Amino acid sequence: MRKLIVSNIASLDGFFAGPQGEIDWFHVDAEFLEYSRQMLDNTGALLFGAVTYQLMANFWPSSKDVNARRMNSLEKFVISSTLRDVSWNNSRILQGDIQEEVAKLKSLPGKDLVVLGSARLASFLLQKNLVDEYRVILQPILLGPGSPLFPNITHRLPMKLLTTRIFHSGGVLLSYQLA
């Protein structure tokens, strides 16, 4: 059975993007890229919501980033009721009962499933108890306004800390699971 891991970057005040969707405040250096490489090497498929998928699909196919080959070759599942076509390599749309579809993906053999970004999707999956590990990389910045990391949470979700890691940039990786 595969694990479902959510991996997000957040400001100290709990946002994953600025008020206009900007993510230019993420600190990306060699250490972060190596962390990303290791995570992607253990990933069998990526899950995205529509907005994050479109951002990623516009960036990665032409990127020269060291992780571009990994991102472009991985299987990708898009959870969307609005998208009708996905053209990024190895992508397909999941529809129907999303809870059931994600549970089926988890039951298959293989490497982990990873949700990158996609805060609304991540919040939904957390509330449905489908997330095995939630990773947040806190960036040393306060954005003021922005898009919240955990939108639409309807009830308390106690978390248990699994691991921590401090990056030289001042960012801190916190890995949790539901308590």
Q: What's the domain range around 52?
A: 4-178
CATH number of the domain bearing residue 142: 3.40.430.10
Global pTM value? 0.94
Cβ(127)–Cβ(155) below 8 Å: yes
177 contacts 147 by C-beta, under 8 angstroms: no
Q: Express as a percent the part of the chain with pLDDT over 90.
A: 88
Evaluated on CA atoms 30, 54, 127, 18, the torsion sign reads positive
Closest Cα partner for 134 from 35, 27, 28, 3?
A: 3
| 24 dihedral zone (left: phi>0; alpha: psi -120 to 50; beta) | alpha
Q: pLDDT-based confidence at 27, cuts 50/70/90?
A: confident
- When divided into structural domains, the chain yields a total of 1
